[in-house]
Structure 1
Amino acid sequence: MPNDNNLIDDATTEIKGMAREGMAHPSTKPVLTGAALGAVAGAILPVVSWPLGLVAGAGFMLYKRLRP
């Protein structure tokens, strides 16, 4: 396996860094952008609510930051 690190451990470290550094952290802006886009998509789609879209968008962008 090319990447032996655990995804959960990587995500925990990244989220703690984002919480500690705020907007200065390089992952904060892309994750917030993904959350906003997910919320808009969730508001537009009839089956998905905006909170679910927000979480899905933020989760997707965080995953893309961890595993490009």
Structure 2
Amino acid sequence: MARLPQPQWSIHYHVAQHRSDRRPGRAERQNTPAMVLGRHLSVLSWNPLAVALYTDFAALIPL
């Protein structure tokens, strides 16, 4: 394992200690296309942005 010189080590340590662990807020989640896939890649649920990005899943003929 390579060892970093002290100045670089301390910068990386400082950045790692100040990372953000917060979860995305409701407004951020509403701006993200999302869909839930089942075990066999069946689309189980989706939001309007996923429809805009991919296709209207409700209009597809089930197999």
Q: Give the TM-score, by structure 2 length.
A: 0.29
- Larger Cα-atom Rg: 2
Higher RCO (Cα < 8 Å, 6 or more apart): 1
Which structure dedicates a bigger proportion of its chain to helix? 1
Q: Give the TM-score, by structure 1 length.
A: 0.27
